[in-house]
Structure 1
Amino acid sequence: MPANLMLKNALTTHTHPTEQAKPTSEKIPQLERVQAYYAEASEGYRDWSKGLNMHFGTYEWGTNPFNLEAMLENTNRAVLQSLKLRGQQNYVLDMGCGLGATARFAAGQTTVASITGITIANNQVKEARALSCDLPGAHKLGFHRADYHHTSFESAQFDGIYAIESACHSTEHNKTSLLQEALRLLKPGATLTLCDGFMTTQTHSAFTRLCYQKTCHHWALGHFPDLHQVTAHMAELGFVNIKVVDLSWRVLPSALFVPWMIIKYGVKLLCRGDRNPQHWHHLLAPLWGLGLAMNRKAFGYYLVTGDKPDIKT
């Protein structure tokens, strides 16, 4: 796959099935919100992960629960394993690559011949490229600015596609645009993996609604994916072998690092008199997120996979 693949940067409109469609002009700011947040807050993730993993970690038997970086890499490994890649000539797409940590991890796997990461944040593309240029697997890596709802990649190009904690930036509850684009880009028989926080009920307490709204506001999220809507819509679109793995309790050890990170980052902001609103959003988001995650009946952390139907010849 050519590393200099040209991509379009298009924003699609998104509506919840129960909401009336709004004018496009009211949808565009969500793209700008995400760009503005990551333009200023990406640096803050260095306090979370030395490898710049921008997601939660998962505990596996034998992992040191006090080693956050090891648990973060467990998530990377679990996502890649869920793609069921065979052989050594696989082309993989990271939909919402952040600073490229998972893509760099993937480049070190023998099953991956090429890994392409896309993000709508220009600064993330620039830094991901800089962080990756001197790595042994740099020739496998390519980072581009693109909106995962609509890319200019040719159809049926990828042997696996994943989105780790990036689907939540879309304003759709069922993530239909992301799912449709992934289905178009996957080769027949290939797998899509979504690893994210998911809402599991539509009836919430006032406290849960408040935590949800504040988390989305501070993290520049559209909506967390609705587990039942996403899986049902995957089936409607034609995905097969749809599987759901509940990782909620396995991310708990990494989530326990959040209070310490909030204190550490908060002290840093106070000591330097930081008034950058995006930095404070980055501080407050996980605090409200913990409140949301406490309601296990309404929210959980899941790994959802589905295959594009294979073509029998």
Structure 2
Amino acid sequence: MTQSKFMKQKDFTTEEIVEFYNDTAWEYKAFWSDFNLHYGFYDENHTTHEEAMVNSNRIYAEKLGVERTDTVLDVGTGRGGLPIWIAEHVGADVHGIDIDRRHVDEAKANARRRGVASNTDFEVANFLDIPYPDSTFDALSGIETVCHTKRKKDFLREARRVLKPGGKILLSDGFVNQYDLTANEEKTMRTLADGWAVPNFSHVADFRAHLTDLGFTNVDFDNHRDYILPSSRRQLFLSIAITPLLKVASALGIKDESSVKQGIALYHQYDAIKSGLAVHGDFTATLGT
């Protein structure tokens, strides 16, 4: 399949991705959330940042269609926001994997604080090599995580392996929706990718084709633009406020350059999403029986 030029440029090792999240952990906790690492979903009933973050977990869980008797896997689980919400509000048996030991420890601590340690399990693992037998899970989710690998179809094969026939998948992430980029558009998307330790953003059509090729049915894509614009705007304002400070801290050796790159990415993501150059959305699909 044809790919935009910037898609071929940079790769990030597992160690570099972990380092990115460790280097930017303070900013996430201080200015975003100690529970969720993703965009919040705003609507007329959820108008604050805190409400939007909770609302995003609720909407993702509803789309995944989890029931109390289900076993669920969340990949790239971060601090455990979505799986803990599912465990707390649905009562399902939930597992989460992440390549970052710090994230796994924080997810376990969050589960204990929410009183759901007994029906949650978090461990260090790579979603390209999921440490569970075939046909283990009724549902699988991944929120803003598959973007971190170039091997997106390989991940989907692994997801297919651990899902039961008829199992549901929900993957929310950043995508592109055009193949031919101008030089300025390519520069913007590369800035976003480098700022978030992302090798490439998949084209919506390519990702849909991967799911279909691997036997997933009822493939649907939902563009989150209207839900997340206020959340995206908040990131823009945070960038304006803190990026100059991060540059000084980096020059003094207090913060790593990755924090500065993320600050710059937060500045550019708002216009990219608002204009449609970047697309934030989720795929849902069912594994064929």
Give the TM-score taking structure 2 as reference length: 0.89
- Give the match for residue 191 of structure 1: 168
8 Å CA contact retained: 2:23, 2:255: no
Q: Determine the C-alpha separation between the residues in 2 that align with 1:258 and 1:204.
A: 24
- Give the match for residue 285 of structure 1: 265
Q: Determine the C-alpha separation between the residues in 1 that align with 2:261 and 2:121.
A: 29
Is 1:109 the counterpart of 2:92? The answer is no
Q: Determine the C-alpha separation between the residues in 1 that align with 2:237 and 2:40.
A: 15
Unpaired runs of at least 5, structure 2: 5-9
Is 1:58 the counterpart of 2:41? The answer is yes
- Give the match for residue 12 of structure 1: none
Deviation at 1:286, TM superposition (A): 1.3
| Match among 71, 77, 92 for residue 52 of structure 2 | 71
8 Å CA contact retained: 1:171, 1:223: yes
8 Å CA contact retained: 1:154, 1:185: yes
Structure 1: which amino acid aligns with 2:73?
Answer: L
Deviation at 1:253, TM superposition (A): 1.5
Large movers: runs of 4+ above 6 Å = 16-19
Q: Determine the C-alpha separation between the residues in 1 that align with 2:243 and 2:160.
A: 41
SS of 1:149's equivalent? coil
| Match among 25, 44, 47 for residue 42 of structure 1 | 25
Alignment of structure 1 residues 24-43 onto 2, 5 Å: 29-43=12-26
Deviation at 1:181, TM superposition (A): 1.0
8 Å CA contact retained: 2:73, 2:137: yes
Q: Determine the C-alpha separation between the residues in 1 that align with 2:171 and 2:80.
A: 17
SS of 2:45's equivalent? coil
- Give the match for residue 81 of structure 1: 62
Task: Compute the RMSD of aligned alpha carbons.
Answer: 2.2
Unpaired runs of at least 5, structure 1: 1-15, 20-25
Q: Determine the C-alpha separation between the residues in 1 that align with 2:95 and 2:26.
A: 22
- Give the match for residue 112 of structure 2: 133
Is 1:158 the counterpart of 2:141? The answer is no
Q: Determine the C-alpha separation between the residues in 2 that align with 1:180 and 1:48.
A: 36
Deviation at 1:270, TM superposition (A): 6.3
Deviation at 1:40, TM superposition (A): 1.7
SS of 1:50's equivalent? coil
Deviation at 1:43, TM superposition (A): 2.5
Deviation at 1:169, TM superposition (A): 0.5
Structure 2: which amino acid aligns with 1:124?
Answer: H
| Match among 124, 142, 145 for residue 145 of structure 1 | 124
Structure 2: which amino acid aligns with 1:69?
Answer: E
Percent identity between the aligned chains? 23
More helix per residue: 2
| Match among 186, 209, 212 for residue 235 of structure 1 | 212
Is 1:245 the counterpart of 2:226? The answer is no
